[in-house]
Structure 1
Amino acid sequence: MRIVSWNVRGLGNAAKRRGVRDVLRQQRCDMVFLLESKLEKVSAELVASLWFSDSFEFSFEPSVGASGEIVVIWEVARFRLIESAVLPHAMVVCGRWLLEEFDCVLVAVYAPCGGHEQREVWDMLESFLSAKVDRAWCVAGDFNVVRWSSERAGCFRMSPFMTVFSEFIDRVGLVDLPLLGKRFTWFGPSNRL
């Protein structure tokens, strides 16, 4: 399976959508989490302008004002949706990877910038994920916080919000996968696969 998580910082203009489509076509991913699209509505026509084939389904979380919005798109020949849920600052899709023949929970996160609001998101995700322990799960997105000061240029000490994020990762047992591109996408323990 090939999953792309991308903070696109807006999909309002045609040039940006063409650029996104070009990257998705090149990567030939099975699923994509598009974060911060800044759109209040997402139509099948808009998704078709982004996806590289006619065989897709999608789910989305509407934006609040000029920020937010998560769009999750997947190739229907690779992933079958069982259920989806919109949580504050997160979009959850539960389904089955068809070729690999296993069920999983995928969570796309676009966390707020404020540390107190982030704590609420981590607590909510922890509660949600603890109810899904019978399936493999993957958490990806834009967390708007780093785990260690070494992950951010010019940061020399741990902030309380970094500590809260790190404790959340430890409590739910997430591990950093060796991925292409940027680091810091967190995944449920391998014993759940």
Structure 2
Amino acid sequence: MILFSWNIRGLGRPENRKVVRNLVMSLKPQLLFIQESKLNKFDSRVIKSLGGSILTSGMGVEATGSAGGLITLRNEELFTVKTCISNDRSIILSRELVRLRKDVVFCNVYATNRECERKEL
């Protein structure tokens, strides 16, 4: 399984989205975790602009002001989701590994810089 995680520090500029998409096209991951997208809107256009024909489904948590924002993209042909839970700081996906008859959990987390909030998270 190929997956990668990236604190991108903003996807507002088209050239940043192009860098992500080129990486997706070359590595062909099953999962992509992006932190600090700084996007105030997540929709199918964002999925297409980042995942192209490789990562065709996803979930996003919108940024609060100019901070935060999470995106989790997946190749829906190779990675099926059993459960998905999200809040303003995390996206959690579970999948059953059929051969092992076990559930696997993947977490995309963006923690705050405030120490007291980190402990709570």
- Change over 3 Å in CA distance of 1:8–1:62 after alignment to 2: same
**2 CA distance for matches of 1:97 and 1:120?**
31
- How far 1:73 moved relative to its partner? 0.3
- Change over 3 Å in CA distance of 1:117–1:109 after alignment to 2: same
Q: Does the 8 Å contact 1:21/1:50 carry over to 2?
A: yes
Q: Does the 8 Å contact 2:25/2:54 carry over to 1?
A: no
TM-score where L is the length of structure 1: 0.58
- How far 1:34 moved relative to its partner? 0.8
- How far 1:103 moved relative to its partner? 2.6
Partner of 2:112 in structure 1? 112
Q: Does the 8 Å contact 2:55/2:73 carry over to 1?
A: no
The one-letter code matched in structure 2 to 1:69 is: G
1:42-81 to 2 correspondence within 5 Å? 42-53=42-53, 56-81=56-81
Q: Does the 8 Å contact 1:38/1:66 carry over to 2?
A: yes
- How far 1:52 moved relative to its partner? 3.7
Q: Does the 8 Å contact 1:80/1:97 carry over to 2?
A: no
**1 CA distance for matches of 2:85 and 2:7?**
20
The one-letter code matched in structure 2 to 1:36 is: E
- Whether 1:28 aligns to 2:35 is no
Partner of 2:89 in structure 1? 89
Larger % of helix: which?
1
- Greater gyration radius: 1
Partner of 1:12 in structure 2? 12
**2 CA distance for matches of 1:110 and 1:99?**
31
- How far 1:111 moved relative to its partner? 0.5
Gaps of 5+ in 2: none
SS in 2 for 1:47: helix
Structure with the greater relative contact order (CA < 8 A, sep ≥ 6): 1 or 2?
Answer: 2
Q: Does the 8 Å contact 1:112/1:118 carry over to 2?
A: yes
**1 CA distance for matches of 2:33 and 2:104?**
15
SS in 2 for 1:29: coil
- How far 1:96 moved relative to its partner? 3.4
SS in 2 for 1:67: coil
Q: Does the 8 Å contact 1:4/1:29 carry over to 2?
A: yes
Partner of 1:174 in structure 2? none
- How far 1:28 moved relative to its partner? 1.3
Q: What is the percentage of aligned positions where both structures have the same residue? A: 25
Gaps of 5+ in 1: 122-193
